[in-house]
C-alpha cells in the first residue's frame, strides 16, 4: 500500500480542480515544505484565481466535499465535508502581486501524482516578511535555508 501526503478526498479535489481547469496556487508553509523547507503545518493554503468560479464547487462535489463560496459576506470561502478542514482558502498574499502575476511565476510540482502550481520559495519568503507576524518570523530561517540549498543545487555542474 502506497503512502500519500493527502487523503483520498483531498487528492480527488486537486485532481478535479485540474481536470476542470481551475487555476489555483498552493501557497504558504505547505508550498515551502514541498520545495524542501523543514517546516510543519496542518493545513494546505490554496489561493484561487477566482473564488466565485462555479468549477471550484464542482471540484469539491466530485471529491465528496462542500464549497461554501463566502458570497454571503460572512467569511472567506470554506472547503469542508469529506474534504475535512485541511484546506484553507487564501484571498490575498501580503507583500506580493496579484494572483495572475504570481501564477505566472509559479512552479509545478507533483504531489501524490498530481501536478500542482506552488508559489516559489522566494515569493513565500517575501510574503512572510511583509506579513511580519510572529509565526512568519519564526518560519523565515527554515525558508531561507531551503532557498540557499536550492540555489546551491542549481549552481552544481
Please give the DSSP secondary-structure letter assigned to residue 113. T
Q: Identify the residue with better confidence: 150 or 46.
A: 46
> Whole-model pTM above 0.85?
yes
Q: Which residues pair with 107 in a beta bridge?
A: 118
Per the listing, cell 493527502 goes with: 6
pLDDT, tens digit, 9 for 90 and up, residues 57-82: 999 999 999 998 865 555 778 888 88
User: Residue 74's pLDDT is what?
Assistant: 57
User: Residue 1's pLDDT is what?
Assistant: 37
H or E stretch including 116? strand 114-118
Average pLDDT, the chain: 90
Which domains are delineated in the chain? 8-150 (3.30.460.40)
Residue 56: phi, psi to the nearest 5? -65, -45
Q: How far apart are CA 10 and CA 118, in angstroms?
A: 16
Length of the chain: 157
Taking 90 as the threshold, does the pLDDT of residue 150 lie above it?
no
Amino acid at each position: 500500500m502506497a503512502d500519500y501526503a493527502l487523503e483520498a478526498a483531498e487528492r480527488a479535489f486537486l485532481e478535479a480542480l485540474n481536470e476542470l481547469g481551475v487555476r489555483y496556487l498552493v501557497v504558504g508553509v505547505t508550498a515551502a515544505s514541498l520545495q524542501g523547507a523543514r517546516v510543519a503545518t496542518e493545513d494546505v493554503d490554496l489561493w484561487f484565481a477566482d473564488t466565485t468560479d462555479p468549477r471550484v464547487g464542482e471540484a469539491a462535489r466530485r471529491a465528496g466535499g462542500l464549497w461554501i463560496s463566502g458570497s454571503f459576506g460572512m467569511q472567506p470561502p470554506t472547503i469542508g465535508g469529506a474534504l475535512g478542514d485541511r484546506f484553507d482558502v487564501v484571498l490575498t498574499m501580503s507583500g506580493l502581486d496579484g494572483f495572475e502575476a504570481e501564477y505566472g511565476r509559479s512552479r509545478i510540482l507533483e504531489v501524490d501524482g498530481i501536478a500542482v502550481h506552488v508559489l516559489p520559495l522566494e515569493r513565500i519568503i517575501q510574503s512572510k516578511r511583509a506579513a511580519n507576524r510572529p509565526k512568519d518570523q519564526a518560519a523565515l530561517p527554515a525558508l531561507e535555508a531551503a532557498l540557499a540549498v536550492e540555489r546551491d543545487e542549481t549552481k552544481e555542474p
